[in-house]
Amino acid sequence: MMSPVYGLIYILLAPIAGGLVAGIDRKITARMQGRVGPPLLQPFYDVGKLFEKENLVVTRSQDLYALCYLVFMLVAGALFFAGGDLLLVIFAFTLSHIFLVLGAYASSSPYSFIGAERELIQIIAYEPMIILSAVGMYMVTASFFVSDIVVSSIPIVLYLPGVFIGFLMVLTIKLRKSPFDLSTSHHAHQEIVKGVTTEFTGPNLGKIEIAHWYEYVFLLGFIFLFFAFSLPIALLAIVVAYFLEILIDNTFSRVKWQFTLKSAWIIAGMLGLINLAVLYYLSGGLQA
């Protein structure tokens, strides 16, 4: 059963959780780089300040696209936490990213234009793997609905180890971590001009940051699904996975888009598909 209450809780609490995750991320990253790092709540201070700034735009329509990005990210996440259809969640998630891309295109600025193209390449790099993850979960639990998957007592990750590794790989792309932070990076050592978000300032950039927080929580929730059979293991898995992402972020430098696309597809194709094929074979072709 879908429960809108959880969706509502997500809408209210996800920015807080997401902001904290971002704060912890920055703290750990700083320690890895031998710095003290900002206070835990720094992301909130940053975004708060963004909303006090003047709204500079190249074209007015940027406001619309930034808002749509945030709104549809909310829709996708809320649908996920309310227990909706996983494929619909993924499509809504893509829709929201298209708005970010459109916002970058709208300004017709060279930097954000390149950022937009790269964001699109990232989308086509990660989307197949995410869809295959959903398909894998369907093959294990016989349902696309998050509400069914989450109450399943089957240890999904044991059936989908390849898919899970593939998912972690595209998670690096999704969280905009090195080496796949092509369209925009959190780190100044990767790029000084911020790719897809170059032309967003002030409140618009604030909206995009908040959307990212929502996105974090949604993606971590997706990891949760793999381990939904046991709450402690799931939480541990999320912590370990996220720590791993931070570690990867700080040990690799950015690669070219060709490598990103090819490696993401090859991993999705090899690990994901072979995993699913084995599962398919073992379950006797799923002929109901």
Residues that bind other proteins (CB under 8 A): 2, 54-61, 63-64, 67-68, 71-72, 75, 79, 84-85, 87-88, 91-92, 94-95, 98, 101-102, 104-113, 116-117, 120-121, 123-124, 127-128, 131-132, 135, 138-139, 144, 193, 198-199, 258, 261, 265, 268-269, 273, 276-277, 280, 285-288
* Shorter beta-carbon distance to other proteins: residue 240 or 286: 286
Nearer to other proteins by Cβ, of 236 and 270: the residue is: 270
Nearer to other proteins, 99 or 242 (CB): 99
The Cβ-side half-sphere exposure at 45, using a 13 Å CA radius, reads 6
CA distances from 66 to 183, 200, 203, 244, 250 (A): 16, 8, 9, 30, 29
Cα angle 19, 74, 92; round to 5: 130
Smallest distance, Å, CB 41 to other proteins? 27
CB of 62 to other proteins, least distance (A): 8
Work out how close the CB of 92 gets to other proteins at its nearest, in angstroms, rounded to a whole number. 6
Ramachandran quadrant class, 276 (left: phi over 0; alpha: psi -120 to 50; beta: rest): alpha
Q: How far is the CB of 270 from other proteins (least distance, A)?
A: 12
Residue 42 or 257 having the CB closest to other proteins: 257
Rounded-to-integer distance, Cα 71 and Cα 279, Å: 37
In angstroms, what is the minimal distance from the CB of 246 to other proteins? 27
The gap between the terminal CA atoms of the chain, to the nearest Å, is: 23
Neighbours of 198 (CB within 10 A): 22
Query: Looking at beta carbons only, is 42 or 94 nearer to other proteins?
Result: 94
Tokens of 195: 């790719």
